[in-house]
């Protein structure tokens, strides 16, 4: 481990952020000093007790590497002023609006730092196992300097060169498939129930047929057990689909993902925003109830 990697700051302790930060501490143990920050101080204190992290309170620590893993671009924008950027590498794992990723790179590098765009494919379970996929853009030397940290949390890294916001665009394309496919699976199971087919039978057949996929395998137990504790929330997939709509500037009535965005928006309005996005199944059940 390089000297500059021995102390890092990690900003953002949502479901994914906690899993990534914990994985880093588990892999590097006492070889790494982990400073943490969250708007929710109770969450930060609980996490610090669990992993041995040091809470950032007022003065920002003297570290060379800073990770951000936040809800959206507005959240990144709000924390940027607290980070002294000169000679630092900012590794932004947030799924950003692409135009904002460009702004963040210009801001960081204008103040003497390096910005690494690094959105994450995968959620809590692969993060805890070091099996995420990372999409990376930014200065090649800075990327090489943090790669040992990225290798601890990822089984696959795509480095696209210094081409911000390519990684953010690719992440939105990935989540187009994620959102549309999850909606398709949920609808199929709910329609099956309406036709008198138990969910467990639909899931078995789909797993052996047209629905066979990583997303079905990852979410079938949640649907069977009605356990929608969040790994990736409804509010997050909705936000990502909205970012894609905004980036493309297209008609909302044209594409599958625009319909999916409206469905997840409806799910959010019906109280499912903080549940796992597979909870869209509950929305379909409700929609079909009186049909």
Q: For the segment 205-244, what is each residue's pLDDT rounded down to a tens digit?
A: 999 999 999 999 999 999 999 999 999 999 999 999 999 9
| Residue 99 · residue 247 · CB < 8 Å | yes
pTM of the model: 0.94
Read off the pLDDT of each residue in 191-212 and give the average, rounded to a whole number. Answer: 96
How would residue 174 be classed by pLDDT, with cut points 50, 70 and 90? very high
Residues contacting residue 106 through CB under 8 Å, at least 6 positions apart: none
Number of helical (H) and strand (E) elements in the chain, helices listed first: 12, 9
- CA torsion 47-51-52-58 (nearest 10°) is -30
Is the N-terminal amide bond of 165 cis, ω within 30° of 0? yes
Mean pLDDT score of the chain? 95
Residues contacting residue 129 through CB under 8 Å, at least 6 positions apart: 23
Read off the pLDDT of each residue in 42-48 and give the average, rounded to a whole number. Answer: 96
For the domain with range 168-289, which CATH number is right: 3.30.470.20, 1.10.1040.10, 3.40.1000.10, 3.30.70.100? 1.10.1040.10
- Phi and psi at 24, nearest 5°, equal -60, -45
Q: Where are the domains of the chain?
A: 3-163, 168-289
How would residue 291 be classed by pLDDT, with cut points 50, 70 and 90? confident
Read off the pLDDT of each residue in 237-259 and give the average, rounded to a whole number. Answer: 90
The structure tokens listed for 218 are: 């990852």
First CA to last CA across the chain, in angstroms?
60
| Residue 105 · residue 127 · CB < 8 Å | no
- Superfamily of domain 3-163 in the CATH hierarchy: NAD(P)-binding Rossmann-like Domain (3.40.50.720)
- Phi and psi at 252, nearest 5°, equal -75, -10
Q: How far apart are CA 215 and CA 156, in angstroms?
A: 17
Read off the pLDDT of each residue in 184-193 and give the average, rounded to a whole number. Answer: 97
Residue 169, pLDDT > 90, answer: yes
Q: How far apart are CA 191 and CA 187, in angstroms?
A: 6
**How many other C-beta atoms lie within 10 A of the C-beta of residue 243?**
24
Chain mean position to CA 21: 13
Query: Using alpha carbons only, how large is the chain's radius of gyration in Å?
Result: 20
């Amino acid at each position: 481990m390089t000297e500059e990697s021995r102390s890092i700051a990690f900003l953002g302790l949502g479901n994914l952020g906690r899993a990534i930060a914990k994985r880093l501490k588990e892999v590097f143990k006492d070889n790494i000093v982990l400073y943490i920050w969250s708007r929710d101080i109770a969450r930060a204190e609980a996490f610090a007790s669990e992993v041995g992290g040091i809470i950032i309170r007022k003065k920002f620590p003297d570290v060379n590497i800073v990770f951000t893993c936040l809800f959206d671009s507005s959240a990144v924008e709000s924390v940027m002023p607290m980070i002294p950027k000169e000679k630092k590498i900012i590794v932004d794992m947030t799924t950003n609006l692409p135009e904002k990723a460009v702004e963040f790179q210009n801001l960081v590098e204008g103040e003497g730092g390096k910005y690494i765009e690094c959105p994450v494919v995968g959620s809590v379970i692969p993060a805890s196992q070091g099996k995420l996929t990372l999409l990376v853009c930014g200065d090649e030397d800075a990327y090489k300097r943090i790669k040992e940290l990225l290798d601890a949390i990822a089984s696959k890294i795509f480095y696209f060169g210094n081409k911000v916001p390519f990684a953010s665009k690719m992440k939105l394309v990935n989540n187009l498939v994620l959102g549309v496919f999850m909606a398709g699976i949920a609808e199929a199971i709910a329609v099956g129930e309406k036709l008198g087919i138990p969910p467990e039978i639909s899931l078995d057949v789909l797993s052996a047929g047209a629905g066979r996929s990583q997303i079905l395998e990852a979410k079938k137990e949640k649907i069977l057990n009605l356990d929608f504790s969040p790994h990736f929330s409804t509010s997050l997939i909705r936000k990502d689909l909205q970012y894609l709509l905004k980036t493309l500037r297209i008609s909302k009535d044209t594409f599958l993902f625009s319909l999916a965005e409206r469905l997840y928006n409806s799910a959010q309005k019906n109280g499912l925003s903080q549940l796992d996005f597979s909870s869209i199944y509950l929305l379909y059940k409700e929609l079909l109830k009186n049909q």
